[in-house]
């Protein structure tokens, strides 16, 4: 596993699960203030989310694509769990300022301390999942691209440019497709800084405010699991 821009950031990218960039995008009837107002309205009642996720990483210069897929679980307080099943099983858990990567094939869990990057972690991982508009405005310059039909959904496409220099060193822009029926993301595209590389996350079978067992978010691993704390 190669993390070229800092291990902590590389591990975050595992959470961020190729697309036609702007094909079929039209101006539509939405304005940016109206979209942000709708996000605020939905954020007030957001409690949990579960979804199937598929993340495709594209390395343009060598025309390489790699895809991971699994199930994601999110709580309002920022706890997240990703159970990857393909191509290799892994569990990735974010609990407060700690992020764990459990690899059952080698019976090892790596623990990362994200405390120094807490604010950046929050704005990076919670894009569209109950995040109020004021938090998005604080972290990004936001542009409304238009509306687009994505599969069988009508979506609004936003383009986000990070305000933080630290984040811009990692991600130049983010495209966020919001389902107009739920105002949850069905697709995110992250364009990496300094390259043409990008990764796309697609969400399916989304369940909002369903019951999720709180035990999923506790860092409990099988007996005999070796624990490591990578530097950096």
Q: Which residues pair with 87 in a beta bridge?
A: none
In order along its 232 residues, the chain shows pLDDT tens digits of 333 445 555 555 555 543 333 344 555 689 999 999 999 998 889 999 999 999 999 988 888 889 999 999 999 888 899 999 999 999 999 888 888 999 999 999 999 887 776 666 665 665 777 888 888 898 899 999 999 998 888 999 999 999 988 888 888 999 999 999 989 999 999 999 888 899 899 999 999 999 999 999 999 999 999 999 887 5
User: Would you say residue 1 lies in a domain?
Assistant: no
2 in a structural domain: no
Instruction: Show contacts of 81-87: CB within 8 Å, 24+ apart.
Output: 81/216, 81/217, 82/14, 82/15, 82/17, 82/53, 84/14
Question: Does 220 reside within a domain?
Answer: yes
Handedness of CA 120, 180, 49, 103 (dihedral sign): negative
Supply the CATH number for residue 102's domain. 2.50.20.10
Question: The domain containing residue 204 runs over which residues?
Answer: 7-228
Q: Are strands 226-228 and 108-113 parallel, antiparallel or unpaired?
A: parallel
In angstroms, the Cα distances linking 65 to 6, 171, 191, 228 are 21, 18, 14, 29
Secondary structure, 3-state, 15-64: HCCCCCCCCCCECCCCCHHHHHHHHHHHHCCCCEEEEEEEEEEEEHHHCE
Domain contains 162: yes
Angle between helices 7-15 and 118-125 (to 10 degrees): 20
Please tell me the total count of domains within the chain: 1
| Residue 208 covered by a domain | yes
pTM of this prediction? 0.82
- Domain assignment present for residue 50? The answer is yes
Residue 40 falls within a domain, yes or no?
Answer: yes
Indicate whether 20 belongs to any domain. yes
């Amino acid at each position: 596993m190669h993390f070229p821009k800092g291990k902590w950031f590389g591990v975050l990218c595992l959470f961020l699960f190729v697309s036609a960039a702007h094909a079929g995008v039209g101006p539509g009837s939405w304005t940016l203030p109206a979209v942000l107002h709708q996000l605020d309205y939905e954020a007030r009642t957001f409690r949990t989310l579960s979804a199937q996720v598929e993340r495709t990483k594209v390395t343009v210069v060598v025309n390489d694509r790699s895809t991971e897929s699994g199930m994601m679980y999110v709580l309002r307080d920022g706890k997240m769990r990703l159970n990857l099943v393909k191509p290799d099983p892994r569990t990735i858990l974010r609990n407060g300022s700690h992020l764990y990567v459990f690899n059952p094939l080698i019976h090892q869990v790596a623990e990362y301390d994200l405390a120094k990057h807490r604010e950046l972690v929050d704005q990076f991982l919670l894009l569209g999942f109950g995040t109020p508009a004021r938090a998005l405005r604080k972290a990004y310059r936001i542009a409304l691209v238009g509306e687009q039909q994505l599969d069988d959904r009508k979506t609004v496409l936003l383009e986000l440019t990070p305000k933080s220099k630290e984040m811009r060193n990692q991600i130049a822009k983010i495209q966020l497709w919001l389902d107009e029926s739920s105002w949850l993301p069905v697709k995110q595209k992250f364009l990496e800084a300094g390259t043409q590389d990008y990764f796309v996350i697609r969400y399916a079978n989304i369940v909002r405010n369903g019951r999720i067992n709180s035990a999923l978010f506790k860092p409990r691993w099988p007996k005999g699991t070796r624990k490591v704390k990578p530097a950096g």
